[in-house]
Amino acid sequence: MSGFIRRYASNYAAVAGLVILLLVIVIALVAPFVYASPWDMVAAPLIPPFTDAAHPFGTDMLGRDITAGLAWGAQMSLLVGLVSTAVALIFGIIVGSIAGYFGGLIDDVLMRFTEFFQTIPQLAMAVVLVAVLRPSIYSIMGAIAIVAWPPAARLVRGEFLSLRQREFVQASIVIGQPTRRVIFSQILPNAMAPVIVSATFMVATAILTEAALSFLGLGDRNMMSWGFMIGAARTMIRQAPWMIIWPGLAILLTVLSINLIGGGLSDALNPHMRKPDE
């Protein structure tokens, strides 16, 4: 663990990404205690940024505080990103591990099933699913999970195909360990490093997908979202460009920080990057 921390800390971009993400998490956690509601009209409309200390990022065309919207929007983005990724990973790991371990007909059937989902553009499928299920936080998370699991399944399958031929796995099978124990105690722990790295990029993609859905008017109307803020401000881009700039920067920084973390984890978990004494 100390070697992993040293390798990660040596990547300054990854450390910067972690700092930014932690800041976004803190903002999301304190938002309910600082701002009662992002929907409240609290001041005059279209106050420019940095002209009113009470509303540092300005207000929108209805007099709503953009700072409050950004803080509450962080909750929506992180919640959707983490939950949908967790669900997609669980399903992808189950499908990929079964396909990779047993092979043969089971592998063929599961991979054809996986490829069916991969032939459909992810955003298009998410739009259709959310529209059919009616926009809500649950339908958004479910739709993103449904379109996000195939890459995870294929990654886990590839790791299982490689690891099941290793000596320690064959030894476990020879001594009669149950299949469930071989999968969960021998193969899966050794396959998790690339899965963890992939999960970070899945979170970033989920945040972008949620923002796109909200921009298109398919977000949860009871929850503030950065994508909704951009979509609501598109008619005011000339008169009040800051209404789009701030949530756009929030999405950019959050997704960039997660990608930097993923790159840092990839280097830190790479066995070829380890020193001989680690």
Q: Can you spell out the DSSP letters for the chain?
A: -HHHHHHHHT-HHHHHHHHHHHHHHHHHHHHHHH-S-TT-B-S-TTPPTTS-TTSTT-B-TT-BBHHHHHHHHHHHHHHHHHHHHHHHHHHHHHHHHHHHHH-HHHHHHHHHHHHHHHTS-HHHHHHHHHHHH-SSHHHHHHHHHHHHHHHHHHHHHHHHHHHTTSHHHHHHHHTT--HHHIIIIIIHHHHHHHHHHHHHHHHHHHHHHHHHHHHTT-S-TTS--HHHHHHHHGGGTTT-THHHHHHHHHHHHHHHHHHHHHHHHHHHH-GGGS-TT-
Q: What is the pLDDT along the chain (278 residues), one digit of tens a residue?
A: 677 888 888 999 999 999 999 999 999 999 999 998 999 999 999 999 999 999 999 999 999 999 999 999 999 999 999 999 999 999 999 999 999 999 889 999 999 999 999 988 889 999 999 999 889 999 999 999 999 999 999 999 999 998 888 888 888 888 888 888 888 888 988 888 899 999 999 999 999 999 999 999 999 988 999 999 999 999 889 999 999 999 999 999 999 999 999 999 988 887 555 555 55
Confirm whether 197 is domain-assigned.
yes
Domain count, the chain: 1
Domain coverage including residue 22? 2-40+62-273
Answer whether residue 164 is part of any domain.
yes
Task: Return the CATH number at 123.
Answer: 1.10.3720.10
Q: Confirm whether 56 is domain-assigned.
A: no
Say if 53 falls within a structural domain: no
57 lies in a domain?
Answer: no
Q: For residue 69, is it within any domain?
A: yes
Residue 49 located in a structural domain: no
